[in-house]
Chain A
Amino acid sequence: MMKKYVLYLLLVAILIILPLFFGEYYVNLGSQIMVAVVFAASLNLLVGYGGLTSLGHATYLGLSAYTSAWLFQNFGMTHDYTALIALVFTTFVGAIFGWISLRASGLSFLMLTLALSQIIWGIGYRWVGLTNGDNGIAGLTRPTPFGINLENSNNFYWFCLIITIASLFFIARIVNSPFGSTLKGTRDQEKRMSALGYNVWMIRWVTFVMASFFGAVSGLMYIYLNKYIHPSVISITSSAEALLCVIAGGAGTLAGPILGSILIVLLKNYVSGFVERWNMLLGIIFVFIVIFMPAGMAPGFTQLKNRLFGGKKP
């Protein structure tokens, strides 16, 4: 146990000093990865731990980002208020959408999450008076917590690091708590869990709301990073990308969304600079993962490590 904490601390220390050795482009790439990590980790609560595959999770990232941007542009509100309202509003919408989506299960649940996210995407694109349509909302700034200027890329990277570590810490606490155990139980044996006295629907709904909240957190990180929001952020592509991060990394593991996000963001932003058909490369890598690491990279690497260096089966 002690060794594990030392390793975590070492990893955090490395992440803290990284910006000191890299240029602005790579530091921003790091921040972008962290946004994706929080977003994927929030979806992982539903997909990995709850067995509820959603194709509409970009709604919560987008809604939070749009709310924050819209309040800032239209009312000149400070970031403290825009952030708070964005989190509360997005979580509230998550509560309603969860209530609707969880009327169904399996494929029907997936279709409902997709349908609801398409409504929000449609509003983003077509309600020009509200969202500025295809032009998106630009001209935003980053907050200055405790007077720290986050326009500086290094400062922003550290800001993202704090939010990411805090989010992952809370998510880890949730999945390792009694509630987390019951959530995994509803994923594995829904009928048995009901017979044991669990309100399966309520467990799933609470999880949906929590996933929406962490999705909203990633939305705030996104809007502060880009200082611009476009409807494409709430498209099905964004939701599918997050799902890909979770599945490729390893659904139902804490490390999975981290590895998946690193892979997808690097391919999308870095490799695409060298390889024109990076989507094809992503496809090949995904096929490779599914064939050789069907449970995803995190469990796959653990299995590989155990095979090479010995140890218990994952």
Chain B
Amino acid sequence: MTLALEVKDLKKSFGGIAVTQNVSLKVNPGERRLIIGPNGAGKTTLFAQITGDLKPDSGSVSIFGNEVIKKPVHARAHMGMSRTYQIITLFKQDTLAHNVVLSLLGIHQRKKNIFNSLTTEDQLYDHAIEFLDSVGLKQQAFRKVSEISYGEQRRVEIALALAQKPKLLLLDEPLAGLSQDERVVVADLINNISKEVTIVMIEHDMEMALAFAEKILVLQYGKVIVDGDRDAVVNDPKTQEVYLGH
């Protein structure tokens, strides 16, 4: 079976400090994979190398059997990879609908059109509103992102990612900074994503994360210290020592 994501011996150093040390990871299609580790373990750096934002010193990354290490970030999006950011990265002065339209256009040939007007009557806006509806934000579609709450902005991030109909979704701390009520809403959204989408998630909220994960990878100082099925990883003494703190 072709793996949804395969990372082999990834290495990255910043001025002599190794932030990713021979990290390898295999994720099956439809799998829910959790990446955990203490702050500074290199989780987001690993994500950045998978997405292409950061060039690794060596190693390889394959998406559904295609080697992507030399492909730019935008090309990886066209291969079915989508992501959310730890720090919300939206177009704050635009409406929620326009944010999702930009996401839809990203994988659409119409983005090259320099002559036809893009108005709110456009079909793309109808699609955008459908995706906003799926994250419970249809009523807010024509409000500016800067006018909605932080928790709602997190949901817009997820709508942007889902609008690209990804095959592989990378979620970087999707619950960060949310209230307990908002966490429940966003966690529900993530748990309801179709199994056709493979999800790799970094998250510190262990209650939600463990309910989500099928497999877990534990990082420390840029190294994989435990990798395997959820229960095995959770009960592993190394995980307990470096992360779960028991």
A contacts, CB < 8 Å to B: 173-174, 176-182, 185, 188-189, 191-200, 206, 210
In angstroms, how far is the closest chain B Cβ from the Cβ of A209? 11
12 CB < 8 A contacts A-B: A177-B117, A178-B116, A179-B113, A180-B114, A181-B98, A181-B102, A181-B105, A181-B118, A191-B53, A194-B77, A198-B74, A206-B114
* Shortest Cβ gap from B139 to chain A (Å): 19
Task: Say yes or no for B90: interface residue by CB 8 A criterion.
Answer: yes
Chain A residue, CB-CB nearest to B118: A178
A179 touches B164 (CB 8 A): no
Q: Could you tell me if B116 and A189 are in contact, using CB atoms closer than 8 angstroms? A: no
Complexed CA–CA distance, A177 and B115 (Å): 6
- Chain B interface residue number, banded: 20 to 34
Q: Which 4 A-B pairs have the closest CB atoms?
A: A196-B106, A197-B77, A197-B106, A194-B73
CB distance A174 to B114 under 8 Å? Answer: yes
Interface contact A196-B91, CB-CB below 8 Å: no
Residues of B within 8 A of A200 (CB): 74
Bound together, the chains give a CA A177 to CA B119 distance in angstroms of 9
Report B134-158 residues with CB < 8 Å from chain A CB.
none
Q: How far is the CA of A167 from the CA of B194 in the complex (A)?
A: 48
Q: Would you call the interface of chain A mostly helix, strand, loop, or mixed? A: helix
Q: Does B107 count as interface, using CB distance less than 8 angstroms?
A: yes
A-B contact count (CB 8 A): 87
The answer to whether B112 touches A179, judged by C-beta atoms less than 8 angstroms apart, is: yes
From A189, A192, A195, residue with most partner B Cβ within 10 Å = A195
Nearest CB of chain B from residue A170's CB, rounded to whole Å:
9
A189 contacts B74, C-beta separation under 8 Å: no
Interface residues, chain B, with chain A CB atoms under 8 Å away: 51, 53, 72-74, 77-78, 82-83, 85, 89-94, 98, 101-103, 105-107, 110-118, 160, 164
CA distance A200 to B94 in the complex (A): 19
Chain B residues, CB < 8 A from A189:
89-91
B118 touches A176 (CB 8 A): yes
- Which residues on the A side are within 8 Å of B94 (C-beta)? 188
Known: A178-B113, A179-B113, A181-B98. A196 touches B77 (CB 8 A): yes
Bound: A194/B107 CA distance, A: 11
Residues on B with C-beta less than 8 A from A206 are 114
Q: B85: which A residues are within 8 A, CB to CB? A: 192
Chain A: minimal CB distance from B3 (Å): 22
CA distance in complex: A185, B85 (Å) = 16
Asked if A178 meets B105 with Cβ closer than 8 Å, knowing A192-B85, A195-B77, A195-B83, the reply is yes
Residue of A nearest to B91 (CB): A188
The smallest beta-carbon distance between B88 and chain A, in angstroms, is: 10
- Interface-centre pick from B51, B89, B98 (highest chain A CB count, 10 A): B89
User: Is A199's CB under 8 angstroms from B74's CB?
Assistant: yes
Q: Taking A195-B51, A198-B106 as given, write out 15 further A-B residue pairs in contact, using a Cβ cutoff of 8 Å, ordered by the A residue number.
A: A173-B114, A173-B115, A176-B117, A178-B118, A180-B118, A181-B101, A185-B102, A189-B90, A193-B106, A194-B72, A195-B77, A195-B82, A196-B160, A197-B74, A197-B164
Kindly state the separation between the CA atoms of A176 and B98 in the bound complex, as whole angstroms. 13
Chain A residues with Cβ under 8 A from B101's Cβ? Answer: 181
Complex CA–CA separation, A226 to B75 (angstroms): 48
The docked-state distance in angstroms from the alpha carbon of A196 to that of B74 is: 7
Contact of B114 among A179, A188, A194, A195 (CB under 8 A): A179
Chain A min CB distance to B168 (Å): 13
Query: Which of B92, B107, B114, B115 has the most chain A CB within a 10 Å cutoff?
Result: B114
Q: Are B83 and A182 in contact (CB under 8 A)?
A: no
Interface-central residue, A179, A181, A192, A196, by most chain B CB under 10 Å: A196
